[in-house]
A and B are shown apart, each in its own frame.
Chain A
Amino acid sequence: MNIESLIILLYVLVLASYLGFELIAKVPPTLHTPLMSGSNAISGITIVGALLACNEQGYTTLSKWLGMLALVLAVINVVGGYAVTDRMLKMFKKK
């Protein structure tokens, strides 16, 4: 990786973190648990890395096995996280 692409990635990091702080500070305390499990599901974005790691050909390489392990774990994180968040938010009702 050259220094230019690093700088771009750092720009993205800084701006996205700032945006995250701004957005999340406004979430009402009532929703903190769903926020946490929902953002937890988002952190399963590592699934992208896991998929790319699985792309390695041939079962003999460690890379592939690790990729598959990462994929299963990340999928649990993503699918379970979104599903349980949806289940919780479904219950929040106002009468």
Chain B
Amino acid sequence: MILIQVLYLIASVLFIIGIKMMNKTKEARSGNLVSSVGMLIAIIATLMQINIVSILEIFVCIAIGSAIGLYYAYKVEMTKIPEMVSLFNGFGGMASVAVAVSDFWLKTNGTMVQMGIIITISIILSVFIGAITFTGSMVAFLKLNGKITGNPITFKGQHLINLILLLVFISASIFALVNQLDTSIIIILTVISLLLGVLTVLPIGGADMPVVISLLNSYSGMAACATGFILNNNVLIVAGSLVGASGIILTQIMCKAMNRSLINVLLGGFGQTITKLEADGPEIIVKEVGVEEAAMLFDGASSVIVVPGYGMAVAQAQHVIRELYELCEKRNIDFKFAIHPVAGRMPGHMNVLLAEANISYDKLVEMDQINDEFSNTDLVLVVGANDVVNPAAHTNPKSPIYGMPILNASKARTVIVSKRSMGKGYAGVENELFGYPNCLMLFGDAKQTIAKLVMELKEL
């Protein structure tokens, strides 16, 4: 039917316009709406092809899915967005696998019916990408919510196992193409792909999650693309490739911000071997500062930059930081936030948290724009960030983070670091900044110490 094709075309255009509107913060919300209308139109167009007999169970499934989706979407805390995105992402991947296998079963019905080679390749790809997306996202989800350790999980020969699994997958696929894709092969392919998803994400540590989530996001788009080839449907390909492209770009940005190659991130185990090497280095002697003294420093400053990191999310400190920000605004202290691209557990994580705390987004400045300002700044407050302000990235060629672009917080007149303890950052290296003469450590839970700081500052 021509009408259905036209509706699919409209849906594709709406997806494109929706993404385009995401370029501006003001229009982004409408863009999301436009894209969701596109989805609705695609669904309606598909329902028009559905036999009326199946409508009831379809609506039951839609009702169940919507209820679960809405419940989580409105319940989730903003600090937990990364794990929610990976969970949903995984569901999308699994849906692709299920559609591919369902289509395989429909076409062959378990018997040896010849399928075209293009369809066979598409089904194999859909299963492969979809299953890796599913289990990979589930592992990322479990790592992010702490059900399994965020540290890299490595064991001997893991790359070898991955390689063997991949080779078995490829051989089985070739066998299927030459002979026939049958039920046992599709089971083997699915199981191997599921295993590969688990094994490839396990060795990757928590702070590398921005890369992993971006990459898995891209995979889920590619899986949708592959499904589009199975069904010979353009809207899946358009939507899938938009998502695929988006994930790849974000992955590149994240890797660049860590000065590491994608391969290096994916091989995992980062920050494990280095600790021993660094232990021999000179011990860093830090100066502690109390809340009262810190409040006096704020009182005397005319410009302040806050550097938030994942620790801020863990301590849920964004709301007390908003109070601090309001207090400083009242005193005409210039107050900004410096956002490192990989701060947090997914791209842009800090921006969402600070937006939640009702902080105007024009106060959040990207690294390249703010890095020259540090030298003219009276006071920098680092909250739960570590590696992204470590000057070793510039000064110490032996450091594993050498060459990584960092925020030049150390250039400010005074730096206060709010930190729970002297623990090391993700890279497992000592932070030279903490030993600098202009650096003061404010130990304790970020939320509590900053709340106290706000109280003290109110009295000054």
Which residues of chain A have a CB within 8 Å of any CB of chain B? 1, 3, 5-6, 9, 12-13, 16-21, 23-57, 61-64, 66-95
Q: Assuming the A-B contacts A36-B214, A66-B105, A80-B73, are A52 and B91 also in contact, with contact meaning beta carbons closer than 8 angstroms in the complex?
A: no
Q: Quick one: which of B12, B92, B109 contacts A43, CB cutoff 8 A?
A: B92
Nearest A residue (CB) for B239: A45
Q: Assuming the A-B contacts A13-B225, A40-B220, A71-B61, are A78 and B236 also in contact, with contact meaning beta carbons closer than 8 angstroms in the complex?
A: no
A-contact 0/1 string along B212-228, CB 8 Å cutoff:
01100100110111011
Is A45 in contact with B235, judged by CB distance below 8 angstroms?
yes
- Residues of chain A within 8 A (CB-CB) of B239 are 42-43, 45
Is A34 in contact with B349, judged by CB distance below 8 angstroms?
no
Cβ < 8 Å to A, chain B residues 8-44: 12, 15-16, 18-20, 22-23, 25-26, 28-29, 31-33, 35-36, 39, 42-43
Is B91 in contact with A27, judged by CB distance below 8 angstroms?
no
- Residues of chain A within 8 A (CB-CB) of B99 are 46, 49-50, 53, 66-67, 70
The interface residues of chain B, by DSSP majority, are classed as helix
Q: Assuming the A-B contacts A5-B232, A74-B91, A92-B28, are A47 and B362 also in contact, with contact meaning beta carbons closer than 8 angstroms in the complex?
A: no
Is A34 in contact with B28, judged by CB distance below 8 angstroms?
yes
- Residues of chain B within 8 A (CB-CB) of A89 are 28-29, 32
- Residues of chain B within 8 A (CB-CB) of A90 are 29
Is A63 in contact with B105, judged by CB distance below 8 angstroms?
yes
- Residues of chain B within 8 A (CB-CB) of A87 are 73-74
- Residues of chain A within 8 A (CB-CB) of B88 are 37, 40-41, 44, 76-77, 80-81
Nearest A residue (CB) for B214: A36
A18 to B346, CA, bound (A): 24
- Residues of chain A within 8 A (CB-CB) of B96 are 46, 49, 70
A33 to B223, CA, bound (A): 21
Is B62 in contact with A43, judged by CB distance below 8 angstroms?
no
B230 at the interface (CB under 8 A from A): yes
- Residues of chain A within 8 A (CB-CB) of B446 are none
